[in-house]
Amino acid sequence: MLSAEPAAIPLAGGTDIMVNWPQRLSAHAATYLDLSGVGDLRSIRWTDDALVLGAMTTYWDVIEDAQIAAAFPMLLDAARQVGAVQIQSRGTWAGNIINASPAADGVPVLMAYHAVVVLESADGRDEVPLAEFYLGYKELRRRPDQLVTEIRIPRRSYRFHRFEKVGPRRAQAITKVGVALTEGDEGWCVVANSVAPTVCRCPTVERRLATGELTGPNELIEALRDDVSPIDDIRSTAQYREAVLARLIYHAAQDATSTPNTTRQ
Ligand SMILES: Cc1cc2nc3c(=O)[nH]c(=O)nc-3n(C[C@H](O)[C@H](O)[C@H](O)COP(=O)(O)OP(=O)(O)OC[C@H]3O[C@@H](n4cnc5c(N)ncnc54)[C@H](O)[C@@H]3O)c2cc1C
> How is 96-125 classified by DSSP, letter by letter?
HHHHT-TT-SHHHHHHHTT-EEEEEETTEE
The confidence score (pLDDT) of residue 265 equals: 46
**pLDDT attached to residue 251:** 94
Handedness of CA 182, 265, 165, 57 (dihedral sign): positive
Q: What is the DSSP string of 135-170?
A: EETTEES--TTPEEEEEEEE---EEEEEEEEE-SSS
Cβ of 88 below 6 Å from ligand 1: no
Pocket test for ligand 1, best of 96, 126, 164 (most atoms within 8 A of CB): 96
Instruction: Name every residue whose Cβ is closer than 8 Å to that of residue 181 and which is 6 or more positions away in sequence.
Output: 112, 160, 161, 162, 163, 188, 189, 190, 191, 249, 252, 253, 256
Instruction: Note the pLDDT of residue 264.
Output: 43
Output the tens digit of pLDDT for each of the chain's 265 residues.
Answer: 999 999 999 999 999 999 989 899 999 999 999 999 998 999 999 999 999 999 999 999 999 999 999 999 999 999 999 999 999 999 999 999 999 999 999 999 999 999 999 999 999 999 999 999 999 999 999 999 999 999 999 999 999 999 999 998 888 889 999 999 999 988 999 999 999 999 999 999 999 999 988 778 889 999 999 999 999 998 999 999 999 999 999 999 999 988 656 554 4
**Cα–Cα distance, 170 to 255 (Å, whole number):** 23
What pTM was estimated for this model as a whole? 0.96
Residue 105 C-alpha to ligand 1 middle, in angstroms? 11
Spatial contact of 199 and 192, defined as CB atoms under 8 Å apart: yes
pLDDT at 263: 58
How much distance in Å is there from the Cα of 16 to the middle of ligand 1? Answer: 4
86 in Cβ contact with 114 (< 8 Å) = no
